[in-house]
Amino acid sequence: MTKTNEHKWVYLFAEGSGDAKNLLGGKGAGLCEMTRAGLPVPPGFIVTTEACNAFYQNGKNFPDGMWEQVVAGLRRLEAQTGKGFGDPANPLLVSVRSGAPFSMPGMMDTVLNLGLNEQTVQGLAAQTGDLRFALDAYRRFASLFGEIVMGVAHEKFERVLERYKAQTEGGRDTDLSPAQLREVIAAEKQIILAEQRGAAIPEDPYEQLRVAIAAVFNSWMGRRAVDYRRVNRIPDNLGTAVNVQAMVFGNMGATSGTGVAFTRDPSTGEKTLYGEYLLNAQGEDVVAGIRTPHQISQLQAELPEVYEQFNSITQLLEQHYRDMQDVEFTIERGRLWMLQTRTGKRTGAAAVCVAVDMVHEGLIDRATAIQRVTPEQLDQLLHPTVDPNAEAIVLATGLPASPGAAQGQVVFDPDEAEELAQQGMKVVLMRQETSPDDFHGMVAAQAIVTARGGMTSHAAVVARGMGKSCVSGASALNIDYSQQQCNVNGSVVTKGEWVTVDGSTGRVFLGRVPTVQPTLGDDFRELMSWADEFRRLRVRANADTPHDAQVARDFGAEGVGLCRTEHMFFGDERLAAMREMILADGVGAREKALERLLPLQRKDFVGIFRAMAGLPVTIRLLDPPLHEFLPNLEELLGELSELKMTLQRAEKISEMDKLLDQIAEKRRLLQQVQRIHEQNPMLGHRGCRLGIIYPEVTRMQTRAIFEAACQVAGEGESVQPEIMVPLVSTDEELRRQSELIREVAKQVLGEHGMTISYTVGTMIELPRAALTANKIAAHADFFSFGTNDLTQTTFGLSRDDSGRFLSKYVEDKILPDDPFQVLDPDGVGELVRTGTERGRAVKPDLKVGICGEHGGEPRSIAFCNEIGLDYVSCSPFRVPVARLAAAQASLAAGKAVEADK
């Protein structure tokens, strides 16, 4: 088909290979493979993805030689079918379909019955002896060509068809008479003329084909395709192929039909033929729901020989590809034709079931099974999800901060959320943003929605830790606390209205949308056991309470990689004691308040040590700035003003005295808040700086840790405490804190007459710490990279505020990903690599991990595996995902090594 030295833009199905998906697209490669296997496939050819890319590089013009090769391909189709393209007496009609290297169902365009005009439609009628069929094919072509190629809205054609169907007795498209079909065609053409200002469907079939191929190329950069690729991380430079295939017709009567089927149930993974079909129809009828299709099993009764042949072919295809297949087929007057086979999309439950079953069936090995299930699919199993078949109204869209789906009545106040939850009501807490003061309301809520904040905001981190659904940064929400309502693009949602939160997609729906509850069965456990065999990275969990720790263990965590002690101070009693400590005038008063906190912290540590049953527990000393535990400065000023106004209205002396006392207390609190107020608290007095200025805080926390360790060890259980000093920027900071920790540990262990092995390390979350890791390592037993803060300090971004523009940065490809969601390998990742290498240059056996939110993100985990970290730590509900991703990273690294040999 090509001249010597001419670039090959077009491949016949018989020339292509199933291995050439990047060149021929997934659909084209499948057609080639089925053709080579001798299956009944209508003949055709493929215009390659290279031609698509050249089309864009050439100012949306076909590359030299491509069109000539397309015409040569048509000549071969004419020879194979005995028909002529554009021949008025014996016309060859073709379909023109997109076919990207990766499956993108419904994202690009298809034109059927191409080649019809006023002359060839008469030839088709004579050729088949069926005028009604020919006219039905023509009206389908006109509407598809008008929509796909000429940009006319589909609804305009649909309204015409519905109007004429309403005039028939049965109300179906199959009830339209030839005369009515002629009127439909005329109306469709008139719509196109009106919309295109006089432009009409070309009568020349070759011109139809030329502009249809260009339309498919153009659809590669259509918004829906671009959005789909962005969501599914498919590169823009792959291009789409175009499949030109001789038409076979499912709309030729009762022995003709069309359908779509899967070789296994794509929802459950059950090994049964699953699909739908329609008799006397074309492909878009099934997909578009124009008529209600039948279950594929019913075909056995209607066309038994065709069903048996089809069933045999689908089994053959699954055996050949060793994976569940998604197939399209057409039956033309009792003859079966295969139009597509590709790897079938499936739910998380189905993915796990199919992978495990195929190992047991001997189709694939365990390594392949691990690679077949994506981390996103596995995540579906761990959280309820919104029923994908449910009709729902999207109220707002934000960041998918914590996966899962939940329903509840909207509340805007955390106290009210707690009160209503205690009454048995389900609530969704909706806030501008959350703070530690809101924690009780977050615990009570089914889900959390915030108007501000990113993927690692307070709401997001806490929600993930609790396994609660959360959408953060839903900036369209304009929350009015005074009116107890929020405005969203002109709509008003008031307190008490029901909403459904889908934290897996970042969407908030109006009303109670049905959800699907996941179940973790034997297939899940078996797949996880295989993943553990292949992975090198250990997987720990971020757990702040005994409950979190137990959940983490149940999901297979191999220890706690981050216990944030500040989260133990949430709750009324603890928060009050914490505030007393912060507001204390001197060391004595501060130590007295700390004495109240010590038994509370010790109790939590005891529970975590017990839950971990001898596995390592990394406990981070107090990290956040102290103002986070105090009332908001602006809120205090407002409350003080309200009290003064109330005092002015007071009439009774007793009431005045009470108000004066309240005002005095508010003023005292306000003075203390102002005293410790910082302009940039995240870079202020926090982390190890608190422990150095207030060593009594470090002493109390260390004592609580070791008293708990001694108590659990005294019960006969093994414990492995790892004390982590946060926000270190110099080696001297760590040296001083380490000496204090070891001094208190020695004292407590001496009091109990016990010996417990422990380690002291640091959290590397500042660029300077990573660059001077060789000095810091001299005083550290381990490093844990806090990639949330390291990302902030490397980029100079606030993780809570940058959500306003980061999505635009990603959309415009200034950044490939949100760096708070996916570890930035070139900047932040390079600091992690450098810090690890420099630390291990001093201490070769230095244990190194990460404990930021990136510890549960698959691509970030692959990077951690690549640079040789020992473990990752993530929220409890991400542990299975991290185990799978770590296994996949090890397998990918092994393949890369083999490829280099």
Instruction: Tell me which residues are annotated as active site.
Output: 458, 851
- DSSP collapsed to 3 states, 370-383: HHHCCHHHHHHHHC
What Cα–Cα distance (Å) separates residue 393 from each residue in 380, 397, 401, 500, 507?
22, 11, 20, 10, 10
What is the separation of C-alpha 748 from the centre of its chain, rounded to a whole number of angstroms? 47
Closest CA to 133 of 229, 252, 230, 267: 252
Q: Using CA atoms, how far apart are residues 533 and 366, in angstroms rounded to an integer?
A: 10
**8-state DSSP, 682:** G
Residues 6+ apart with CB under 8 A from 404: 382, 383, 384, 385, 447, 467, 468, 469, 503, 504
The answer to whether residues 874 and 895 touch, using CB atoms and an 8 Å cutoff, is no
Strand 385-386, strand 515-516: pairing = antiparallel
Laid out side by side, the sheet with 477-480 consists of 477-480, 485-488, 491-494
Closest CA to 430 of 403, 444, 451, 415: 451
Closest CA to 449 of 419, 429, 434: 429
The answer to whether residues 114 and 212 touch, using CB atoms and an 8 Å cutoff, is yes
**Which residue's entry shows tokens 């207030």?**
694
Q: H-type helices in 715-766, by residue range?
A: 731-752
Tokens coding 214: 């260009």
Residue 135 half-sphere exposure toward CB, CA atoms < 13 A? 18
Residues 6+ apart with CB under 8 A from 329: 258, 259, 260, 261, 277, 310, 336, 337, 338, 339
Q: Which amino acid is at 618?
A: T
**Torsion sign over Cα 190, 195, 200, 202:** negative
The shares of helix, strand and coil residues in the chain, as percent rounded to the nearest 5, are: 50, 15, 35
Element (H, E) at 607: helix 587-612
Q: Which amino acid is at 139?
A: R
Q: Using CA atoms, how far apart are residues 701 and 601, in angstroms rounded to an integer?
A: 7
Q: H-type helices in 37-88, by residue range?
A: 49-57, 66-81
Residues 6+ apart with CB under 8 A from 11: 24, 28, 32, 45, 46, 48
SS3 808: helix
The answer to whether residues 817 and 809 touch, using CB atoms and an 8 Å cutoff, is no
The answer to whether residues 670 and 640 touch, using CB atoms and an 8 Å cutoff, is yes
**8-state DSSP, 62:** P
Q: Using CA atoms, how far apart are residues 562 and 776, in angstroms rounded to an integer?
A: 20
Backbone angles phi, psi at 472, to 5 degrees: -115, 160
Tokens coding 652: 């009774």
> Which residues on neighbouring strands pair with residue 501, listed in sequence order?
406, 508
Q: Using CA atoms, how far apart are residues 606 and 595, in angstroms rounded to an integer?
A: 17
The answer to whether residues 314 and 327 touch, using CB atoms and an 8 Å cutoff, is yes
The answer to whether residues 614 and 560 touch, using CB atoms and an 8 Å cutoff, is no
